[in-house]
Amino acid sequence: MTETRQAEPVPLAPDPPARRFTVHRAWSVAAVAFVTIIGAAGFASLPGLLIEPLHEEFDWSRGSIGFAVSVNLALYGLTAPFAAALMDRYGIRRVVAVALTVIATGSALTVVMTEPWQMVLYWGVLVGLGSGSMALAFAATVTNRWFVKRRGLVTGILTAAGASGQLIFLPLLSWLVEHHGWRPAAITVALSALAVVPFVWLLLRDHPADTGTTAYGAEVFTPKPPPVPGAARRTVAVLLKAVRTGPFWLLAGTFAICGATTNGLVKTHFVPAAHDHGMPITAAASLLAVVGVFDVIGTIASGWFTDRFDARRLLAVYYALRGVSLLFLPMLLAPSVELPMVFFIVFYGLDWVATVPPTIALCREHYGEDSAIVFGWVLASHQVGAAVVAFAGGVARDAFGSYDVVWYASGGLCAMAALMALVITRPARSPSPDLPAL
């Protein structure tokens, strides 16, 4: 009798391990940078709210107040290229933490000022130096180090952080100024900057190699480069090299007009100009906050466009549309907020800093590893343009009794910027020669 043996069960192959969805460390660094820029955005929201209260309390002319703001804007820009080099020497985290502390100190000291020169020192010099040290060069440095792909999009997101901060701070600061005076608003700016310091120190990292990873989109691991000595010398050397090229002057010129028509003009003088037409300060400040809402949308969209279209043509379109909108603004100012003014705010908000991603992209195309420092110098021209118009706008208001001439002149400048953008040449070796035309 033959014994029947049952076949032994064949063991099943183990299920493959489930793939876990992980977020690349670069995105968490970008998130920290985004929150940091928001926390420091209060300094940019306050100047336009200070002009009328300081004029009423101290009887300072709008020109003298505008001069302090212009010093702030100029130092903001002139510090940026050195800050980019300092980040290469000492690291992003240290430079940003010190910058936030300086902003907080300068803003806090303004509450004890009694003379115009003190505003120049506290708000102009200290806040200007601190804010310049973590200006858009900070966003460019983070993007260059942590991202190979999606650089345009990330640049747009980090640029939009300033607008997000404006959206958060403007309504709060305007309410404080109207109900409790300008001093609590200055203290709020100081505290918000200080609150971000531990966040930066604990969570921000200087380079992908610090966490044992690669930049987003990189195919190979890149060791962290050694600190670059001689930050000031390198910054000046990069400038001397860049000024011998035509694209630098065109980028600097267009960005100077960008600063003149945003930070220098609208951010500084829109609230007092609207108040001249009978609009309450809180209503005018709320309109600027709405600019911040659409600025976020427009800047992120601009970053997306920059990854896909010719950056020069994008700049030309942005400046042309901005100029047209400024020419219509004097006809829209009124005691109450009407529908045409809402349309202007939405339109201008979409265009506010949409120029930043294509400008950074053009710096990267032409200047490679030095692009963050070159962009710092281009940003310096942005802030010098802003400083000139912040001062000139106040002087024009004192001289003519209105801001109309400044709006019209700025519209003409935007038309000039659009033409300048179109004549920027493409580099001989472009990393993206197949970009479609816009």
User: Quick one: pLDDT at residue 42?
Assistant: 72
Report pLDDT for 14. 52
Sorted by sequence, the CB contacts under 8 Å of residue 379 that are 6+ apart come out as 77, 80, 81, 135, 136, 137, 255
**341 falls within a domain:** yes
Q: What is the pLDDT of residues 401-410, one digit of tens each?
A: 888 888 999 9
Q: What pLDDT, in 10s, does the model give residues 230-254?
A: 767 888 888 899 999 989 999 999 9
Residue 60 lies in domain:
25-215+228-422
Note whether residue 279 is domain-resident.
yes
More confident residue, 94 or 137: 94
pLDDT-based confidence at 415, cuts 50/70/90?
A: very high
pLDDT band at 432; cut points 50, 70, 90? very low
Mean pLDDT over the full length of the chain: 82
Report yes or no on 352 lying in a domain: yes
Higher pLDDT, 428 or 403: 403
**93 domain residue, yes or no:** yes
308: left (phi over 0), alpha (psi -120 to 50) or beta: alpha
- Asked if the structure places residue 431 within a domain, the reply is no
Using pLDDT thresholds of 50, 70 and 90, give the confidence band for residue 135. low
Tens-place pLDDT, residues 179-235? 888 899 889 888 888 888 888 888 888 888 878 888 888 877 777 777 766 767 888
pLDDT in tens, 30-80: 888 888 888 777 777 677 778 778 888 888 887 788 788 888 877 877 887
Domain count, the chain: 1
Q: What is the mean pLDDT of residues 110-124?
A: 89
| pLDDT tens digits, one per residue of 254-296 | 999 998 998 788 878 888 888 888 888 788 888 877 887 787 7
The predicted structure's pLDDT at residue 20: 55
Q: Is residue 17 part of a domain?
A: no
74 located within any domain: yes
| CATH code where residue 104 lies | 1.20.1250.20
Q: What percent of the chain has pLDDT over 70?
A: 90
